[in-house]
Amino acid sequence: MFKISEFSKLSQVPAKTLRFYDQLELLKPAYTDQQSGYRYYTSEQLLHLHRILAFKDLGFTLEQIKQLLKDNVSIAEIRGMLRLKQAEMHSLIQSETERLRRIEFRLEQIERQSDGLSRYEVVVKKVEPLMVATLKATTSRASIPGLFEEIDEYLTWNGISLPVTHMVMWHGCPECESSIDVEIACPIPRKLQDTARFQTKLLPEMTVASVTHMSRPDADTPVSIDLGAWIEENGYRISPEMPSREVYISPQESNKLRYVTESQMPILGAGFMQ
């Protein structure tokens, strides 16, 4: 038998790691002296340790490795776990390839611009499903603050505390002066009673290109033009199935008409469900 220090040298695995594997019952010593607490290992345990290291190199967690090394685990179960890990790694490579492409575009953008700075920083992210109260209207952009007030009254009547985040979903042209099809939405913690004017719905998950900026809900902003250019230059497509959104997060302290705003454009492209 080998003392833990000797087994550590043979295996090139730190003694601290071996003690940790013992605590996890991943690799228990062949013998532990009850009086001194010294751990002893056999040469055969090097094979078990090397299997642990091999699975760890493949990216499995220690808990997953425990499952893989069980005496009663079947070949089919091992194959299934390896295929799951394979799919996970493919997804990670795809995601990192997309990230690399965005970095390369950002570098090219800096080279093209004299001041080295982009007007807006674009982020690609997934937006989780969200329960909202909504109000649809065909109106002008100047009427949007009034629609915010109307939906706030509805929420207050239903016992929802204010302030809330307001969202505008564009079903029509946001740059048009009149007859814009918009849907005002506010996140809610529970389903509310629908009326002829208001509805509760669950917004689906989607992938968006997102920009945070300052804007007024009653005035047009050029950010959509910049966002559209970024989407095209980065090889994405605007999703035809989902409306773009503007999320008015909070009003500016010095000017309550201006909001910290997140513009979200739903996109399709490499690495995303289409």
pLDDT tens-digit map of 24-59: 888 999 988 888 889 999 988 998 899 899 888 888
Q: How confident is the model over 227-268, as pLDDT tens digits? A: 888 888 888 999 988 999 999 998 877 777 888 999 999 999
Rg, the chain, Cα only: 28
Token readout for 16 is 């601290």
Domains of the chain, by residue range, sit at 2-68, 74-118, 122-268
Question: In the prediction, which pLDDT does 203 show?
Answer: 95
Q: Which residue has the higher pLDDT, 93 or 166?
A: 166
Question: In the prediction, which pLDDT does 106 show?
Answer: 64
Token readout for 114 is 């004299």
Residue 117 confidence (pLDDT) above 60:
no
Closest C-alpha to 272, from 241, 248, 245: 241
Specify the pTM: 0.57
Torsion, Cα of 148, 209, 252, 258 (10° steps): -60
Question: What is the average pLDDT across 205-231?
Answer: 86
Query: Is the CATH number 3.20.80.10 carried by domain 122-268?
Result: yes
Q: Which CATH number fits domain 2-68: 3.40.50.300, 1.10.8.50, 2.60.40.1930, 1.10.1660.10?
A: 1.10.1660.10
SS3 letters across 137-192 = EEECHHHHHHHHHHHHHHHHHCCCCCCCCEEEEECCCCCCCCCEEEEEEEECCCCC
